[in-house]
Amino acid sequence: MVQSVDRAISILKCFNERKRELKLSEIAEQLGLNKSTVHGIINTLKFHGLIEQDEKSQKYRLGLYLIMLGETVVNSLDVRSFGLPIVEDICQKLEETVHVCVLDCTDIVYIDKRECANSIRISTKIGSKFPAYCTADGKVLISYLDRSKQLRIIPDDIPKFTTNTITDKMEFVNQLDKIRENGYAIDNEEYEVGLVCVAAPVLDHTGSPKYGISVTGPRIRMTEDKIQEAIDVLKDAAHRISVRLGYKG
- Does residue 146 share a domain with residue 204? yes
In whole angstroms, what is the distance from residue 178 CA to residue 155 CA? 20
Last residue of one domain, picked from the residues 72, 93, 121? 72
- Does residue 81 share a domain with residue 68? no
Question: Domain range spanning residue 178?
Answer: 77-244
In 96-238, DSSP assigns E strands to 97-104, 107-114, 129-131, 185-188, 195-203, 209-218
249 in a structural domain: no
Contact predicate 116/96, CB 8 Å: yes
SS3 assignment, position 109: strand
Is pLDDT at 143 greater than 60 in this prediction?
yes
Instruction: Kindly indicate the confidence band of residue 14, based on its pLDDT and cuts at 50, 70 and 90.
Output: very high
Q: For position 40, what pLDDT does the model report?
A: 96
Q: What is the pLDDT of residues 17-39, one digit of tens each?
A: 789 999 999 999 999 999 999 99
Q: Is the pTM of this model over 0.95?
A: no
Last residue of one domain, picked from the residues 54, 72, 90? 72
47 in a structural domain: yes
Total of domains in the chain? 2
Burial group, residue 2, by CB count within 10 angstroms (0-12, 13-18, 19+): exposed
In 31-132, DSSP assigns E strands to 51-53, 60-62, 97-104, 107-114, 129-131
Q: What is the pLDDT of residues 49-98, one digit of tens each?
A: 999 999 899 999 999 999 888 777 656 656 767 777 888 888 888 888 89
Query: CATH number for the domain including 35?
Result: 1.10.10.10
